[in-house]
Structure 1
């Protein structure tokens, strides 16, 4: 197959709504059989997920997620701001949400998320060499910092309501030898 040519040319791109958080719309494309179809999408800014190692513990935050009406145990995470790389975003989010400064941050992976509906990239970063500092929560963040023994991190991440970013972060850190 020739991957350089676009086998699904866009006939029309429509943005139906824009919020301060994401943009949504659809692309009408010509499929390989010549028919046209609308493919809906939501575009979100890049995000970072931080697996912070504090001695033998992994740092999580607990927060209520109004969208799913559940309290969740999650890794520190947030949006990568304009002009910021994943490592810088990880340092900032870790300080803001958990009140921790990291001596070392390592980008493990970047990848596209939910490619059937989202235009969104996520980066997983490991942080260690942590020192406590003041938190700087956003006005919609009501977080409790929770430390979980590293050997329990995956089991805790899998507890309902589990979320993709936390499970991905723990699994990638484990696969790369940061967690036993």
Structure 2
């Protein structure tokens, strides 16, 4: 039977900004003992896009990730405010980061990125029937764009060159769905 064995006694706000809220929860754990639980609440849904052209190519986006202090290759992705249409947010992110516009969209997966401390929820879409336009980078984005066969992106996942969780899940699911 699926039920919540935790009891929340009190929630104390610790930090809040436009993107996240950090809370400390006083709880009774499943054994009935008092404890604390830290929670990071995300104010946006994460979304990633696997664009695929008629030749089986996809696009990756490279950028320096401040929190990791390293360069990261990822699928095009971003955030959409909770309550806003997820697909519209995905379309916006694809256009901003790659200049691509897609006629056909398929939701590939829903993922929780780190369910032990956050409530972040991500979605990955497959984007097909592509048209190339100009990018529209945000002021915080210094991006490098790489077009490559999807199978090469799978190899980058398997050899550890791609470490972002949403990118890994999306690339592997797209390859499976497309029969690669």
Q: Per the alignment, in what secondary structure is the counterpart of residue 33 of structure 1?
A: coil
Matched, 1:160 2:161: yes
Of stretches 98-107 and 52-61 in structure 1, the one that deviates more from structure 2 is 52-61
1:67-146 pair list within 5 angstroms = 67-146=67-146
Q: What is the CA distance between 1:174 and its match in structure 2? A: 1.9
Q: Per the alignment, in what secondary structure is the counterpart of residue 135 of structure 2?
A: coil
Q: Which runs of 5+ in 1 are unaligned?
A: none
> Against the structure 1 CA distance between its residues 168 and 34, is the aligned structure 2 distance closer, same or farther, given a 3 Å change threshold?
same
Q: Report the counterpart of residue 64 of structure 2 in structure 1.
A: 64
Normalising by structure 2, report the TM-score.
0.91
Of stretches 58-67 and 154-163 in structure 1, the one that deviates more from structure 2 is 154-163
Q: What is the CA distance between 1:81 and its match in structure 2? A: 2.7
1:18 to 16, 19, 23: 16
Distance 1:85 1:172 in 2: 23
Q: What is the CA distance between 1:171 and its match in structure 2? A: 1.1
Distance 2:57 2:172 in 1: 15
Distance 2:162 2:131 in 1: 30
Q: Which runs of 5+ in 2 are unaligned?
A: none
Distance 1:160 1:15 in 2: 37
> Against the structure 1 CA distance between its residues 81 and 179, is the aligned structure 2 distance closer, same or farther, given a 3 Å change threshold?
farther
- Aligned length, in residue pairs: 177
> Against the structure 1 CA distance between its residues 8 and 86, is the aligned structure 2 distance closer, same or farther, given a 3 Å change threshold?
same
Q: Contact conserved, 1:74 with 1:157, CA < 8 A, in 2? A: no
CA RMSD of aligned residues (A): 1.6
